[in-house]
Structure 1
Amino acid sequence: MQKMFSLRSGLAGLQWLFFLFTNTVVIPITVGAAFGLPQERIQLLIQCSFVLTGLACVVQAGLGHKRSIMEGQSGLWWGIVLSLCAAAPSLGLTLPQLGGSLAVGIIISGVLTVLIGLCGLAAPLSRMFTPGVMAVFMFLLGCRLNMIFLEGMLGISPGLSAEEAVIRPAIFLLAAAIAAFVAVLSVRAKSALGRYALLIGILGGWLLHTMIFGTNSVSDGSDKMNFVLFPLGGPETGLNAGVIAIAVIAGLVNASNTFGALKGTDEIYGKEAATSSYRRSFTISGVLAILSGLLGLVPYAPYVSSVGFLQQTRIRERMPFVIGGLLFAAIGLIPVISGLLTLLPLSIGSAVLLVTYLRLLGSSLQYFGQIRMDSANLYRTAAPLFVGIIVMGMPSAYFASLPPLLRPLLGSGLLVGILLALLLDRIRFGSTKSKEESAPVHPSKGGMTNERNESVGKRCSEPEVSIGTK
């Protein structure tokens, strides 16, 4: 019996390892490429991402919310970081200056998140994220991230200007084929194959890309971790108040992930998460954000996608989750393995993640389904949606005439849309709040960030729930 339990835990731990890997590996690669870092510095980002993600999962499982929920680098933050990299020239910032300003803003947002946890401010914050706000948030986040992934599939590296960008049709065709394969495998395949569709797509696509297009330069094979603080740029490079303000706002919006992830697993664990679980989770996420600022990483948040993973595998015990986290951290400490991962083609990683984040549309539509669409609510949701999308499509040069403090904020369609949604949601005109709007938001069964609609009028205990993303 003990041997069977150990074998089951080990195999389940490997499943968690694959899940952590597929959700993490592309993020430091794309951020490093956007900042124009050399390969050895990108390898450092990958190593730090693996180690910190693995340890974050273990700490949350043991001391935080005490559930099997992946703690990883936030999709909202990721989209904002890449958007700011693309807009840096129009902001009059060098990439090291942008990195230094982001680091300071991320550290400040981490301190605020810790205070939210320690002071029990989760419930008041959650009330801001009504279904109407979250519908806009999910839709715009999906637009922004999938724009980044589609550019990667086209062979366009993050951070390139319009003059430097070159579309590579052959690379796109291969990436599109991999995306289609992963989508079909995820939908049609049985059990294990469908469960590992992302991993199969990454490894198979990587092999095909290498056979067809060759590989990048080989890693230097360094046998130690060349650790440095502020790899993207330090505070001494010069700070931009607008970028710091964006980071602080993003940190507050990012807090909604905790509500979605914990409430989404209530049904799986057969009980509601206690207020103390929310406090501990916020505190640990805040500490991780502070470390992210120092290490040049995208800040952390609980992954709502863990809900679908738990429902698919039906293994909710913490031991396999802890095993997967420890294995992932160990991989980050082995430079040979992490150096090999720097060779992952950006187009292949982008193709796999495009398939994953298409699910955000379903999450957004389910939120819209909770809103009574009278004339006032129609304007309240349509305005931030269209304004956000339009701003996303504007060249960053359009914002060069704005004051430097406002350029990063008003030049980000994602943040403009979210802030406009929050503002209009506070201004009630022409209609009163419907039950669907005011009801707490609950995650659904299945999907990466899918939500389910609870029966109208059903009340939930504090804190109220509003869901973020990745």
Structure 2
Amino acid sequence: MTKQQEHLRTPNVKQFSSSVLAGIQWFFFLFTNTVVVPLSIGHNFQLTPEAIATSMQHSFLLTGAVCILQAICGHRYAVMDGPSGLWWGLTLSLTVSASSAGMSLERVGGGLTAGFILAGLTMAILGWMGASHVLQKLFTPMVKSAMLFLLTIQLTMNFFKGMIGYTEFGTFNLPVAALSILIAVLVAWIQLKGRGKLANYAILIGIIAGWIAYRILIPGHQSTQTQAVGEFFTFFPWGTPKWEPGIVITAFFVGLVNMTNSITTLGAVEKMYGVQTTVQQYKRSYGWTGLFTVIAACVGVIPFGAFASSIGFLESTRILRRSAFILGAGLLCMLGLMPMLTSFFAQMPPSVGSAVLFVAYLQMFGTAIRTLEGTVFNSKTIYRIALPILTGVAIMNISAEAFQGLPIYLIPMISNGLVIGVVISLVLESTVKWSNLDNSAKPSKAA
């Protein structure tokens, strides 16, 4: 059995005990990628602090549970399944646009809930029917690379704004920004210069040191996280499922697009493990993600998807053991079951988490480049990678207000640079015979 294949074996007690630090590091990664989502959604739906606290508990519990199940009997990799960025963006966009469209938040929430449930069921069914085989054909290395480039740019832009304390008024907090930059430099320095296993725990060191430094150096800028404790079992806090055709269809379409995350993410991660993902692994992965998407919709949590950002984390830490990942996910589950503990960890300054993740996600850029290894471009074929990426980046830099003239159901899709970029890449790869253009001019290697 090869070393890479050993990573896929069920972890034993000895491996588990040696993965405690790595598990804690995974816990903070899962936590920082989850905590902001229920807060932003709760505020947009104008939920009470107690309802937001309950939603946060549900998010931690479900995220931890689906990660454990995926690692043990799903795709069987140390890859996070968490609140999907596509569905998160869709929900934020629709709630912001609700008043201008003459719709109540309850109607929007009910339509989203119905759409998420339908999308979750469809994902599970299509996954078991072998839809991954079709998606793998559509998502060529060029499309995967375009998606990874755009995802890296989108994430690093968001986390850079978070680490400097960027506000909706176009200003930033200088003390917070200075400390965040120091934290980012520390993490990067440990990764580049750290010896032995020290470099593997750069993210954990950065979070702990940054949190302590923040409390000491910036006492006047406390976290705005809620400390309320709500009821644990609440159903349909956004509104009971309603048939709102536009919202349901849009949510359903975003769910289909969200399925492509698994193709891109698992396709990149399998290279680190030195194995090839089987059809059965894809089927089980879609099955669990679809099931938890339905559960998430019922309890007011953003539905799930494979996190391509896990690629950057794995590249940074080089810790592929599932035992560490399962431990971190288990700790997140425990956090979801302990309201007071949830309130404590929710006080972690967002800028600290953003600074650390900004460095971790830089590794995704390298993964996107490696996806193109062996590909050459000339003055014509460069369009197949430049057009989708630069168009997507251009849309990302357009203010959301610029799209308000469009129908409310189209705004989340048209204003999403990642989605538009991937769609353009899919169209180009499906309609243009690039091999003919390769021969029409002398190619030069891509930089």
Question: TM-score surpassing 0.5?
Answer: yes
What whole-Å deviation, never above 9, does each CA across 1:224-260 have from its counterpart, x for those lacking one? 75332344x225699472x544433333333234345
How big is the shift at 1:114?
0.3
1:47 maps to amino acid: Q
From 232, 238, 257, the counterpart of 1:226: 232
> Equivalents in 1 of 2:381, 2:327: separation in Å?
47
Structure 2 CA distance, aligned partners of 1:394 and 1:218? Answer: 29
| Matching residue's letter, 2:280 | S
CA distance in 1 between partners of 2:302 and 2:290 (Å): 13
Aligned partner of 1:392 in structure 2 is: 396
2:39 corresponding residue in structure 1: 32
What's the secondary structure of 1:404's corresponding residue? Answer: coil
Change (3 A) 1:130 1:271: closer
Residue-pair matches, total: 422
Q: What is the CA distance between 1:80 and its match in structure 2?
A: 5.5
Tell me, yes or no, if the aligned pair for 2:313 and 2:360 is still in contact at 8 Å.
Answer: no
Instruction: Specify every segment of 5 or more residues in structure 2 that has no aligned partner in the other structure, as ranges.
Output: 1-11, 439-447
Provide the rounded CA distance (Å) in 1 between the counterparts of 2:395 and 2:185: 29
The reply on whether 1:331 has 2:341 as its aligned counterpart is no
Matches of 1:395 and 1:343 in 2, distance apart?
30
Matches within 5 A, 1:293-332: 293-303=297-307, 305=310, 309=314, 316=321, 321-332=325-336
% identical equivalent positions: 30
Q: Out of 262, 287, 290, which is 1:286 matched to? A: 290
The whole-number CA distance in structure 2 between the counterparts of 1:28 and 1:88 is: 24
Contact 1:26 1:350 in 2 (8 A): no
The reply to whether residue 53 of structure 1 matches residue 74 of structure 2 is: no
Alignment partner, residue 444 of structure 2: none
The alpha-carbon distance between structure 1 residues 24 and 320, as it changes in their structure 2 partners (threshold 3 A), is closer
CA 1:100–1:356: 2 relative to 1, 3 Å: farther
TM-score by length of 2: 0.80
Q: Is residue 38–residue 59 contact of structure 2 (8 Å, CA) maintained in 1? A: no
- The aligned counterpart of 1:138 is 148
Paired amino acid for 1:286: G
The answer on whether the counterparts of 2:312 and 2:360 sit within 8 Å (CA) in structure 1 is no
Q: 1:343 to 1:268 in 2, by over 3 A?
A: closer
Higher mean C-alpha displacement, 92-101 vs 353-362: 92-101
* Residue identity in the other structure for 2:40: A
* Structure 2 counterpart SS, 1:377: coil
1:364 corresponds to: 368
Q: In the superposition, relative to structure 1, how do residues 244 and 352 fare at CA in structure 2: closer, same or farther (>3 Å)?
A: farther
In 2, are the aligned partners of 1:111 and 1:287 still within 8 Å (CA)? yes
Q: CA deviation at 1:88?
A: 6.5
Compute the TM-score of the two structures, normalised by the length of structure 1.
0.77
Q: Secondary structure at the match of 2:351?
A: helix
Conserved? CA contact 1:198–1:352, under 8 Å: yes
In the alignment, structure 1 residue 213 sits paired with structure 2 residue 219: yes
Structure 1 position 219, deviation (Å): 5.8
Distance 2:316 2:357 in 1: 20
Cα separation, partners in 2 of 1:165 and 1:229, compared to 1, 3 Å? farther
Q: Give the SS at the match of 2:235.
A: coil
Relative to structure 1, is the Cα distance of residues 84 and 261 closer, same or farther in structure 2, using a 3 angstrom cutoff?
Answer: same
Which is further off, 340-349 or 56-65? 56-65
Deviation at 1:26, TM superposition (A): 4.0
Cα distance, 1:150–1:80 mapped onto 2, change above 3 Å:
farther
Code of the residue aligned with 1:58 in structure 2: it is I
| In structure 1, C-alpha distance between the alignment counterparts of 2:358 and 2:180, rounded to whole Å | 10
Counterparts of 1:404-423 in structure 2, within 5 Å, are 404-423=408-427
The one-letter code sitting in structure 2 at the alignment partner of 1:28 is V
CA distance change for structure 1 residues 349 and 369 in 2, over 3 Å: closer, same or farther? same
The answer to whether residue 432 in structure 2 is matched with residue 428 in structure 1 is yes
Q: 1:9 to 1:409 in 2, by over 3 A?
A: closer
Query: Is the 8 Å Cα contact of residues 70 and 302 (structure 1) preserved in structure 2?
Result: yes
How far off is 1:148 after superposition? 1.6
Q: Which residue of 1 aligns with 2:26?
A: 19
Distance 1:86 1:149, change over 3 A: farther
Q: Shift of residue 41 of structure 1?
A: 3.8
Match of 1:10 among 2, 12, 17: 17
For the residue of structure 2 that corresponds to 1:53, the secondary structure is helix
Kindly state the Cα deviation for residue 107 of structure 1 after the two structures are TM-superposed. 2.4
| Residues 46, 342 of structure 1: 8 Å contact kept | no
Aligned to 2:128: 118
Contact 1:218 1:343 in 2 (8 A): yes
Secondary structure class of the residue paired with 2:75: coil
Of 405, 408, 419, 1:401 maps to 405
* 8 Å contact kept, 1:90–1:397: no
Equivalent-residue separation in structure 2 for 1:33 and 1:383 (angstroms): 32
Task: Give the CA deviation at 1:119.
Answer: 0.9
Against the structure 1 CA distance between its residues 297 and 219, is the aligned structure 2 distance closer, same or farther, given a 3 Å change threshold?
Answer: closer
Unaligned runs of 5+ in 1: 435-470
Q: Counterpart of 1:185?
A: 190
1:71 aligns with 2:81: yes
Measured in 1, the distance between the counterparts of 2:100 and 2:164 equals: 24
Distance 1:91 1:195 in 2: 49
User: Does 2:152 align with 1:148?
Assistant: no
SS in 2 for 1:276: helix
Letter matched to residue 381 of structure 1: I
SS at the partner of 1:58? helix
**1:203 and 2:213 equivalent?**
no
Asked if structure 2 preserves the Cα contact closer than 8 Å seen for 1:265 and 1:307, the reply is: no
Q: How far has the Cα of 1:334 moved from its partner?
A: 1.0
**Structure 1 residue 287: deviation in Å?**
0.9
CA spacing shift, 1:35–1:240, aligned 2, 3 Å: farther
